[in-house]
Amino acid sequence: MVETVEVTADLISDGLGAFDELEFLGRGTFGTTFRALRGESETAIKVIHLVDMPAYLWERELTSLATVDHPNVVGLIGSGTFKALGRELSFLECEYVSGGSVEARVRTGERPRKDELRALLTGLLAGIAEIHDLGIIHRDIKPANVGLRDGEWGSPVLLDFGVAKVLDMTSHTAVGQMVGTAPYMAPEQLRGRPARTRSDLFAVGLVVYEAGTGRHPFRSPDVQTVQSLYDRITSGPPEDPRVSADWPDDVAEVVLRILSAEPHERLSVARALKDLGAR
């Protein structure tokens, strides 16, 4: 069992100095995130609450990520460690994306229009194309990790980088676990194989499908475990989103292709963007 610490605003202030505002945003699998305001600067600070996770696991990717300047990839401002509770805790400081996440918007029942859906997909594809070119794999793309700049469906921003590599180092997807731990993983990840670029692509498909239909393409009352999720994904494609929602044909076709169970059957990012007329 991995030990965790409870990250509070006071703990961050003790470690990183005083802020004008520290607003709790959420606690994920391995990090706790706050919106931090200091003077004119508004950022998001994520503190890794898993204890004894060596920083080298994600340092290389963060170094690469720091060079990225792309509208669909969150800007990394810095990273480091601070002492608190007698331990050394790692943190990341990123651009704060104020428009909420895809997850939050889906929960309200709102759906993107056709043009917004296309822009959501092309934006996410452009974002992963950028990071993949640098050798970075996100590994944890899900509706909660896609921000919407200024609240616009058509301006998605990939959030929460680097630390997802920790997922590969832990037994997160043992068959038999409840599906709630892994609904946005590609089938190869569910089988315990390392995430690859096309694993990110699959996750983009899941996010866009869910944004455009309001539901996960593979989950149902029968799908409760990682094994049953894997079996469902590999048994065939999901329902065509055009059955229940008004989708552009090319967007639906690209999403269905990138949701293929076998990575080599997914369109490459470049091909998907080309099919959407974005390149």
**Residues of this chain that bind other proteins (CB under 8 A):** 188, 193, 196-198, 262-265, 268, 271
Integer Rg of the chain from CA:
18
Q: What's the Cα-to-Cα distance from 70 to each of 44, 52, 95, 156, 204, rounded to whole Å?
A: 17, 32, 12, 11, 17
State which residue, 88 or 262, has the beta carbon closest to other proteins: 262
Least Å distance between CB 198 and other proteins? 7
Reading the block at residue 171, the tokens are 């037994």
State which residue, 78 or 192, has the beta carbon closest to other proteins: 192
Strand partners, 73: 158
Query: Is 140 part of the annotated catalytic residue set?
Result: yes
Least Å distance between CB 182 and other proteins? 19
Residue pair 226/186 in contact by the 8 Å Cβ criterion: no
State which residue, 215 or 257, has the beta carbon closest to other proteins: 257
From the candidates 140, 246, 250, 275, give the one annotated as an active-site residue: 140
State which residue, 145 or 197, has the beta carbon closest to other proteins: 197
Apex 70 CA angle, 209 and 39, nearest 5: 110
Return the biggest CA–CA distance within the chain: 56
Give the single-character DSSP code of 144. Answer: G
Least Å distance between CB 133 and other proteins? 12
Give the single-character DSSP code of 145. Answer: G
Least Å distance between CB 251 and other proteins? 21
Reading the block at residue 150, the tokens are 């200024």
Q: Give the phi and the psi of residue 90 in degrees, each rounded to 5.
A: -95, 150
Q: How far is CA 198 from the centre of its chain?
A: 14
State which residue, 120 or 128, has the beta carbon closest to other proteins: 128
Least Å distance between CB 26 and other proteins? 31
Nearest to 121 by CA among 11, 231, 226, 269: 269
**Residues annotated as part of the active site:** 140
